[in-house]
Amino acid sequence: MTLDGDARCPAPRDVETILILDFGSQYAQLIARRVREAGAFSLLVAPDTPLERLQEHNPKGLILSGGPSSIHDEGAPRCDERLLELGVPVLGICYGMQLGCHLLGCDVEAAEAREYGRSRLKVECSTGLLASIPRETAVWMSHGDQVVGLPDEFETLASTPTCPHAAVKHRTLNFHGLQFHPEVTHTPHGVDILRNFLYDVCGCKGTWKMADFLESACHSIREEVGEDRVICGLSGGVDSSVVAALLSRAIGDQLTCIFVDNGLLRKKERDLVEATFRDHFDIDLRVVDATDAFLSDLEGVTDPQEKRRLIGHRFIEVFKQSAAEVAGEGRGEARFLAQGTLYPDVIESGHGHAGQAANIKLHHNVGGLPEDLGFELIEPLRDLFKDEVRALGDVLGLPPHIVWRHPFPGPGLAVRVLGEITRDKLDLIRECDEILLEEIVARNLYRSTDQVFAVLLPVQSVGVMGDGRTYDSVVAVRAVETSDFMTADWARIPHDVLAVISSRMINEVDGVNRVVYDISSKPPATIEWE
């Protein structure tokens, strides 16, 4: 399990960095987000990263995350026991606290009962880590073991009714421990505790700014690329658009973008991409119309995964041919391929979910490109979360309708037309999708929802139009709210808005006589239907 943020895109220079040793916590990514939101840069690293590798990042502090293991389990993750020799503050959370305390001579034993859920924290020392935290407050617990024997070298900062040492610190070494999770929203003052660690304990100044990242990223890209050319697969989505704009800022005409029109795009998608990047940013944009090839591959195919596989395979072939043409133009060696990989992708692929990540990337526009494509990969966004990518897009001057676009799946409308794909079905769902988005935007609901789209179901229903019966298609409307797309809840779109959307689809789109609204959460449902 490796997760070094400097593998291909180094951390920003001269930025206050907090390293988070991830022991397998479901909240590790959330810790990283909270640190960045508070004004410091954060990186998740493997828990067994040697001290020398940690020193290379020149961290201001270390956080040891929670995790599902007991420190007494055979094979339980461990950290370099020289950790405190680094000379920077260390904060252990849950398992991280137990491990740190154990290494410093404390006893850790199984609690009488696993504690999971809210608990009342009683603060006994309102300075340093717990400065300005109420004397009593709610915290979120999730642990089976806890520290029970505390030597004189330690001081108890807070307790709960079932955990006498819920927050501790070492009297001479710069180690603090929290048995609860400050990073989750169920701990109301958790963000304040993390800010105390960053500013009061680590001495951070809050220098993590997106404008500084932009300058640093451009410098790193120029150093890596040199005089060579970069090819970027542009989809029109937020991630690839920000990558393209960033590379354009860094290396100018050394960048060539390839946009593949697979015939599965939303209405006027191609026109939007061309207008934004060829006209607004003056980027060397090559548009390849491969509609016939993609739709021919999909003829008669109904299985969702087979659709994805065929689309991914055809995309690779089209992109490979287009890239070869660019490389053969004699304008410098086209040595690099740019990809919009984000930090959550890096985290997933580095934490034992390779199989799942591979399935996800199978239908990403550029994800899964074969190694024999002949390019070195450059991923300038690999250290950023989605909200940070949007912030970078703002700094780069991308128009709001690009920066705040809802996600669109790599296979496009192929996974929003359930069953067999035909041109007529694609045209129908395009019209419905445009009506849906028009109304959501007009009612000022686009920014308050995170993904909204229409799905053509593989069923027909009886209807009445005028004096006659109809037997036409059913369209489902899906709208969700989410912070990370790992979980999601269905959006409470006002009924009057849904009524207008339904009426317009049925009356304006030939072949639709019924509209339904999807009120499923994720889990158990997924956001997309296929």
Q: For the segment 321-370, what is each residue's pLDDT rounded down to a tens digit?
A: 888 888 777 676 788 889 888 877 776 655 433 222 223 233 333 344 55
Q: Give the SS3 label for residue 420.
A: coil
Looking only at the bridges linking them, the beta strands covering 136-149 and 255-261 are unpaired
* pLDDT value, residue 467: 61
* pLDDT value, residue 360: 28
Phi, psi of 245 (to 5 degrees): -65, -40
pLDDT higher than 80, residue 173: yes
Q: Can you tell me the mean pLDDT for 250-278?
A: 90
Contact 62, 83 (CB under 8 A): yes
Predicted confidence band of residue 69 (pLDDT cuts 50, 70, 90): confident
Question: Mean pLDDT of all residues in the chain?
Answer: 86
C-alpha 183 chain-centroid distance: 17
Our answer to whether residue 56 is catalytic in this structure is: no
Q: How far is CA 474 from CA 431, 479, 515, 516, in A?
A: 14, 17, 6, 7
Active-site residue, from 94, 163, 202, 432: 94
Active-site residue, from 57, 181, 189, 363: 181
Q: Rounded to an integer, what distance in angstroms lies between the CA atom of residue 140 and that of residue 57? A: 31
Q: Rounded to an integer, what distance in angstroms lies between the CA atom of residue 319 and that of residue 337? A: 11
For residue 370, count other CB atoms closer than 10 A to its CB.
8
* pTM, to two decimals: 0.72
Our answer to whether residue 153 is catalytic in this structure is: no
Active-site residue, from 183, 224, 269, 431: 183
Q: pLDDT tens digits for 37-62?
A: 888 999 888 999 999 999 999 999 99
> How buried is residue 223: exposed, middle or buried, by Cβ count under 10 Å (0-12/13-18/19+)?
exposed
Tokens coding 178: 């929290």
For residue 516, count other CB atoms closer than 10 A to its CB.
14
Looking up tokens 């300075």 gives: 127
Q: How far is CA 239 from CA 42, 232, 243, 288, 330, in A?
A: 20, 11, 6, 20, 29
* pLDDT value, residue 24: 87
Our answer to whether residue 183 is catalytic in this structure is: yes
Helices 304-327 and 354-362 meet at what angle, rounded to 10?
A: 70
Contact 180, 166 (CB under 8 A): yes
Tokens coding 110: 């199984």
Q: pLDDT tens digits for 103-152?
A: 998 888 877 666 678 899 999 998 899 999 999 999 998 867 888 878 89
